[in-house]
Structure 1
Amino acid sequence: MLDDIDRALLQVLQRDGQTSYAELGSHVGLSASAVNDRLKRLKGKGVLQRITAEVSAAALGREFLVFILVELGDLKQEPEFLDRMRACREVLECHHIAGDYSYLLKLRLTGTGHLERFLSTQVKSIGGIQRTHSIIALSTVKETREVDVSAVGGS
């Protein structure tokens, strides 16, 4: 699926999405136009979804990191829950999970009052919510969106 050049391009872009095509090309031995072609191909295959900026949550007053486990007791309410979570700007991630709970949410909030408002207006106001469990992160040792592309097989 990916060759060594694709993997090298993805590794560099994951670390710095502002790297120019010329810089990328010099890193892998290609011209800027060849890099452009490769990246278009990777986007077309769905490997490269987008190149985006990484913003500091703390600098924007959103240093309060919370994970919420949600158990849905009534699956008829699941579409409303999912639509609401997709629309909530506080929700960074929403995962359907195995185990005692149905979903795991990752949120960046301003503090405990924001958490209380989020729970009451966005989660507990939906019928069929059996229970929730909030986990507040005191500090973060590692947080990344980088995917290890070195283990991906050749094309």
Structure 2
Amino acid sequence: MQKMNEIDLKIIKLLSLDAKRSLADIGGMVDLSPSSVKERIRRLIEAGVIRRFTVDLDPVALGAQTLVFVWIALRDDADEEAFRHYVANHPLILECHHVTGAWSYLIKLRVGATPDIENFLANIKGQNFLSRSETVITLSSPVAGAFVQKEVP
């Protein structure tokens, strides 16, 4: 794909705020026809800039009101590929990041209550992955959401 320009960035911003926005509506905001907007979106998808369209769910409405971050240090003898497979398929895990520093991974998960955190950690220990961990429970999230460039020319 060619380098993205100002119009591409505006289209991305508009879609990130509301992916159901009509092509005509977007076109009106960027001075393009709906077919030109559709073509630009197609190119952004093909280039991998737009990876998917999804639904923004309310975790509280789904009973997962507690957002938790867990720093994980793997055991020296842990099977790292097995760990990656485990976290990729765990229903509570939203994100897992391989990180630098004193920890091996940072995991973000949503749970219904604190006993779910204890069960999660016990399960990782039972799989012989965990050397040590540190758990951080989120009190609130003043800024949260998908990646959106805040400044668009």
- Give the TM-score of the pair, scaled to structure 2: 0.91
Alignment of 1:36-115 (within 5 A): 36-74=38-76, 76-115=78-117
- Name the residue aligned to 1:6: 8
- Name the residue aligned to 2:146: 145
Per the TM alignment, residue 146 of structure 1 is displaced from its structure 2 partner at its CA by 2.5
User: In the aligned structure 2, how far is the partner of 1:104 from the partner of 1:89?
Assistant: 16
- 1:81-110: CA deviations, max 9, x gaps? 110100012111100111111000000100
RMSD: 1.7
Judge conservation of contact 2:72–2:133 (CA < 8 Å) in 1: yes
Judge conservation of contact 1:73–1:130 (CA < 8 Å) in 2: yes
Question: Which segments of 5 or more consecutive residues in structure 2 lack a partner in the other structure?
Answer: none
Aligned partner letter, 1:17: A
Superposition misfits of 4+ residues, deviation over 2 angstroms: 73-76, 149-152
Judge conservation of contact 1:80–1:126 (CA < 8 Å) in 2: no
- Name the residue aligned to 1:134: 135
Judge conservation of contact 2:75–2:131 (CA < 8 Å) in 1: yes
Question: Which segments of 5 or more consecutive residues in structure 1 lack a partner in the other structure?
Answer: none
User: In the aligned structure 2, how far is the partner of 1:126 from the partner of 1:79?
Assistant: 13
Alignment pair present for 1:117 and 2:97: no
Q: Secondary structure at the match of 1:58?
A: coil
Moved more, 102-111 or 72-81: 72-81
Per the TM alignment, residue 73 of structure 1 is displaced from its structure 2 partner at its CA by 2.4
User: In the aligned structure 1, how far is the partner of 2:136 from the partner of 2:107?
Assistant: 10
Q: Percent identity?
A: 34
User: In the aligned structure 2, how far is the partner of 1:107 from the partner of 1:76?
Assistant: 21
Per the TM alignment, residue 128 of structure 1 is displaced from its structure 2 partner at its CA by 4.1
User: In the aligned structure 1, how far is the partner of 2:81 from the partner of 2:19?
Assistant: 34
Aligned partner letter, 1:68: V
Judge conservation of contact 2:71–2:135 (CA < 8 Å) in 1: yes
- 1:17-49: CA deviations, max 9, x gaps? 111111111111111111111111001111011
User: In the aligned structure 1, how far is the partner of 2:63 from the partner of 2:103?
Assistant: 29
Judge conservation of contact 2:83–2:129 (CA < 8 Å) in 1: no
